[in-house]
Amino acid sequence: MLEFRNVSFSFAGRRGTVEVLHNVSFACKEDEIVAVIGPSGCGKSTLLSLAVGLRQPSGGEVLVDGRPAKGADRRLGMLFQQTTLLPWRSVVENVELGLEIRGEPKAARRRRAMELITQYGLAGFERKFPHALSGGMQKRTALAQTLAAEPTVLLLDEPFAALDAQTRVVIENDVVNICRSGKRTMLLVTHDIAEAISMADRVVVLSRRPATVKEIYEIPLSREAKSVGDVPGMPGFTQYFNRIWHALDISVAGADAAA
C-alpha cells in the first residue's frame, strides 16, 4: 500500500517559490491499480519521484505499508518513460542489475533473470544489447529488470508513451496481469485518459499547478474486462472518458494560454 498524505512540493524558481503540489492526499491499496492523470506540467511525475526519494516533499509524507518511504526503498520498483536500460549491458545483464546492486550472488541472480526473460518472451535475446531490440522488447526488458527485485509497489511514469499502439496494448495488458496476479500495488502516471480507464481501478485527476486532487473516479471496467484492449469497447467507457476530460479542463487552459 502506497499513501500520499498531505504531500506538498515546491522549489525555488527564478521568480520566487514555485509550488508544484499542494496538499495531495490519496492512497493505492494492495492489489489496486491507481492512475494519476493531470494537465501537462502539473507535477504528476513529481509524485513518483517523491515516492522513490529522488526528491523530498516540502510538506506531508509518503507512506509505504504505513512506514515513511525513506529514499531508495526495496518495496518500490519504478518503470520510467525513457529507456533506462544500460546500453553497454546485454539483456540478461540489465535484468539482473537490481539484484546485483543488492549484492546477490552471481549464479542466483542469473537464474532469476533467465526465468523472467523466458516469462516475458525475451528468450533467445538475452545476449543482445538493448539497441538491437524493438521498442516493445526494450520495454519488456525494463519491466523484467524492475520486477526482478520483486517490489510490492510498482510505479509507472508514462512508460508506454513511446510505444506504437498495438505493442502498447499488449504490454499494458501484461502489466495489468502482473499486478493482479502478484497482489501488487500499482501507481500509473499518464496523460492518456483511455489508458487510465483501461488499466486502473481508480483514476485520480489532478488540477493545474499547484496541483491538488480534483476528482477521484472508481472505475470497474478494467477488472471486468478480459484484456486491456477490450475496455474502450465496453459500455460506460465513453461516459468515464467524458467526465475525466471535463475534469481535466484542458480546452479552457489551452484558450487561456493562447490569449
Partner 1 sequence: MTARLSHRFVVIAGRLAVLVVILIGTELGVRYGVMSALLTQLSSGSFLTDSGITIFETLLGLFCGSLLGMTVGLVLPQLRFVSNVFEPFLMVLNGIPVIVIAPLFILWLGLGILSKIGISVYIVFFAMFIPVYTGSLRLDTTLVDALHVMGATRLQTFWKVIVPSSLPSVYTGLKIGSGLALIGAVIGEFVASRSGLGHMILYASGTLDTPTLYLGIITLAAFAAVLSFTIDALGPVLVPWRFSDEK
Contact positions vs partner 1 (CB under 8 A): 49, 52-54, 72-74, 76-78, 80, 82, 84, 86-88, 97-98, 100-102, 128-129, 131-132, 149
CB of 11 to partner 1, least distance (A): 16
Place of cell 512540493: 9
Name the residue nearer to partner 1 (CB basis): 95 or 171: 95
**Alpha helix ranges (H) inside 123-248:** 135-148, 165-181, 193-199, 221-224, 237-248
Distance from C-alpha of 232 to C-alpha of 201, rounded to nearest angstrom: 15
Name the residue nearer to partner 1 (CB basis): 98 or 210: 98
Beta carbons of 215 and 205 less than 8 angstroms apart: yes
Exposed/middle/buried for 155, CB within 10 Å: 0-12, 13-18, 19+?
buried
Q: List residues bridging with 215 in a β-sheet.
A: 205
C-alpha cell at position 15: 521568480
Name the residue nearer to partner 1 (CB basis): 184 or 202: 184
- State the angle between helix axes of 165-181 and 135-148 in degrees (0 to 180), rounded to the nearest 10: 20
Name the residue nearer to partner 1 (CB basis): 7 or 69: 69
Name the residue nearer to partner 1 (CB basis): 73 or 126: 73
CB of 81 to partner 1, least distance (A): 8
CB of 201 to partner 1, least distance (A): 24
